[in-house]
Structure 1
Amino acid sequence: MNSENNLGKKEGDSGFAPAASPTAATTIITHDDAILGGETTINTQGENMPAWFARPKEAKGALPVVLVVQEIFGVHEHIRDICRRLAAEGYLAVAPELYFRQGDPSEYSDIKQLLDNVVSKVPDAQVLADLDHVANWAAKHGGDMRNMAITGFCWGGRIVWLYAAHNPQLKAGVAWYGRLVGEKSMKQPKHPIDIAVDLNAPVLGLYGAKDEGIPLESVDSMRQALHAANATAEIIVYPEAGHAFNADYRPSYHAESAKDGWQRMLAWFHQYGVKPTSK
């Protein structure tokens, strides 16, 4: 797999969400002739949901599947590249546009407006049901639902915990800096700390000690809840990392923590059986 910095592109043609601009010089774009990626649509609850997928061009048999859950910025270039990186490892990776009913993140240049007008209106129940349909789509397009994992970032990290308690077919999950506690509402009736006892699949949580939005107290509370539930889960906290430390296109990127987290994610998938036959 070859990666290169995304330099020389102007804002607006980079494929990154406007609310996440400008992109940093550390931005990674993956190029690999052995992978195939592109847009698709997935029928879910009577509607066609846009999605991005990536997979190896040549594969023997059904591929292990990784559902990739977006940040608040939607399925922009960084999330598409996460799919390409996973495809280079031998996975069928699929990232659905989970806000598609509520709005388009690419229409917002202000993070607060994006959160208020789109993200806050997305119900958890809708997201979990849509991800079930993504899994079914993967099974019909060369993926093996019996060999399925999920990973997500920020907003998507929280969803990873919830989905691991929702789908009994899931074999592993890796949550990157997803919120663990919060106020409950009709759209968000439960948070990860509330479903620790209900996990169906092993979950690895990757967090930053300098994350101002996810205090270490909430991470410790989640650890205690997981321990009390005797859940198969682990939480790693990187001392020098803040929020979004894997977001190489943002100033928050912490390369050492991101690289270690990526290897831990792959090892977690492999440990629980979600791995290409060649690995």
Structure 2
Amino acid sequence: MNMPVHGSPAAPATALVTGATAGLGAEFARQLAEQGHNVVLVARDARRLRATAEELEKSYGVQAEVLAADLTDDGGVAAVVERLSDPARPVEILVNNAGMGLLRSFADNDIAEEKQHLKLHVESAMELTHAALQGMLQRHSGRVINVASVAAFLPRETYSAAKSWLLSFSRWANIAYAGRGVQVTAVCPGFTHTEFHDRMGMDKEVAPRWMWLRAEQVVREGLADNSKGKAVSIPSKRYKLLIAAARVLPARLVAGPPRRAK
């Protein structure tokens, strides 16, 4: 068995990260591996997962397991639930990061796309959290990070609605389970330089440069806030101020810039 980076005699914890091949998911996996945690990497692209796993094992001396699964599909979700439910290989940290965006407005989207969007952000994250909690509560120890968004505080189509659910759920779960050793945090980043907007086909120039964050900062602050037991993490002072203002300003003024294609 590989030992933690810092040589601790204790067995390393295992973290499962969804959407782990790029962006925030890849950065969560990297920083958790850097801390000495073994990782289970979940995403659809098996080839990219294997490349990421090899890099983490080589760089940090941890064990990196690959689990190719589509979390918009019931079979994919079931495969990850099965891994989270394995008592012989406990997962101590769950990062629900997998996500997608829809470029067009709600009325213009195919309802099948909207249902897929809702399943990924809400239903799948709920199922994985429920599965992980069973072992965590028995062990009286565990951490769950749900990657939400500052959109959870703003009126921004069904993306905001889905992220609002994650935010509310995380706040409640942290209250409900903190006393039983499980810390649950909703990490709510603003615009972040990842592949997310590129996959949407969104023109990133709709938001000014000062609004863009680096994935490394978002993950570093999110992990720190989770380790402190905070229910909500809003990375960067600029977004903390923006969300504070959003709570008192009219909704039409805080909806954010309109999305447009490249």
The TM tier, using the shorter chain, reads 0.3 to 0.5
Tell me which protein shows more strand as a share of its residues. 1
Tell me which protein shows more helix as a share of its residues. 2
- What TM-score, normalized by structure 1, do the two folds share? 0.41
